[in-house]
Amino acid sequence: MNLFDMNGPLMNALRTLANIFLCNLMFCLLSLPVFTVGASLTALYVCMQAILEEDEDDVIIKQFWNAFKENFRQATAIWLLCVLVFIFLGIYYLIILSLAGAAGKMYRISFFLMCIVFLFGFQYLFPMQARYRNTVKNTVKNAWLLSIAALPWTVLSILLAAGAVYISFFMDPASVNMSVFLWGMLGFGIVAYLNSFFFRRAFRLIDPAKMEVKSRAIPKEALFTDEEHRTTETFYQESAFSHPDWNRQRRKPGGNELANEMSGKKKE
């Protein structure tokens, strides 16, 4: 096989790296206003999942921008909720710093546990927003449910992000400037792309049928689902991330009552 074959593994790897670079650049630029971080992160995961499934658009920047616009309102609302939690945790930490003795130790433990619980659900908020149509309330609820149901993948995704941050900024403080440059070029995209491997495994708990496989019966092992995920007769996944309505099929009334309760009853 020719090493420089356009469909060969080398060129595919370079194409993937180029797309990750472009998405990373878009993420950094569109996150500058800070309040748009949620929409940018959602668009980043839309594109990373598309690249992983080899379903990205020819013009990845256009796909990123469309995902950013489509998810802007809801992803921003989720992000602002996260910012409120960050502020609360920051104030709580400043307060417990002034406490000493056994009481101070107990409050520090509680702070650590709250951070862990928040981080578990935070890992899935924007990947789920990128993948499913749902209300803010149900997206938040399902993110924490999934973080527990898919605990091994949750832990791996946290370790990946934490390890990347540690290697970049704490292992060698003298190379911080280079680390900032690399994160601005590829870092966020690479971490999101690698984490998408873990999230895809976790999402199989919500979508038990394999992607691109149709099943005539609703699988009983489904834990919870987005509100518009199932049709009357067919449960299926469409691997077409480039389409704005990927995995957002309409669901007619009826079917699994437990799924209805857990996913809400929003109507278009």
The 3-class secondary structure across the chain, one letter per residue, is CCCCCCCCHHHHHHHHHHHHHHHHHHHHHHCCCCCCHHHHHHHHHHHHHHHHCCCCCCCHHHHHHHHHHHCHHHHHHHHHHHHHHHHHHHHHHHHHHCCCHHHHHHHHHHHHHHHHHHHHHHHHHHHHHHHCCCCHHHHHHHHHHHHHHCHHHHHHHHHHHHHHHHHHHCCCHHHHHHHHHHHHHHHHHHHHHHHHHHHHHHHCCCCCCCCCCCECCCCCCCCCCCCCCCCCCCECCCCCCCCCCCCCCCCCCCCCHHHHHHHCCCCC
Q: Which of 6-15, 49-58, 172-181 has the lowest mean pLDDT?
A: 6-15
Where along the chain do its domains lie?
A: 9-203
- Backbone CA torsion sign across 142, 145, 150, 155: positive
Top pLDDT among 165 and 210 is at: 165
Instruction: Give the pLDDT score at 59.
Output: 85
For 94-126, what is each residue's pLDDT tens digit?
Answer: 988 888 888 888 889 999 999 999 999 999 999
Structure tokens at 142: 């399902």
The end-to-end CA distance of the chain, in Å, is: 51
- What lies within 8 Å, CB to CB, of 220 at 6+ separation is none
Top pLDDT among 9 and 49 is at: 49
- Mean pLDDT for the stretch of residues 207-229: 46
Instruction: Give the pLDDT score at 246.
Output: 40
Whether pLDDT at 204 is above 70: yes
- Mean pLDDT for the stretch of residues 233-251: 36
The model's confidence at residue 6, banded by pLDDT at 50, 70 and 90, is: low
Burial class (CB in 10 A: 0-12, 13-18, 19+), 15: middle
For 75-84, what is each residue's pLDDT tens digit?
Answer: 999 999 999 9
Whether this model's pTM surpasses 0.85: no
**Percent of the chain with pLDDT strictly greater than 70:** 74
The answer to whether 57 touches 22, Cβ cutoff 8 Å, is: no
Q: Which of 59-68, 165-174, 219-228 has the lowest mean pLDDT?
A: 219-228
- What lies within 8 Å, CB to CB, of 53 at 6+ separation is 211, 239, 241
Dihedrals phi, psi of 151, to nearest 5 degrees: -55, -45
Instruction: Give the pLDDT score at 231.
Output: 35
What average pLDDT does the chain have?
A: 79
For residue 132, give the nearest of 247, 40, 27, 44 by alpha carbon.
247
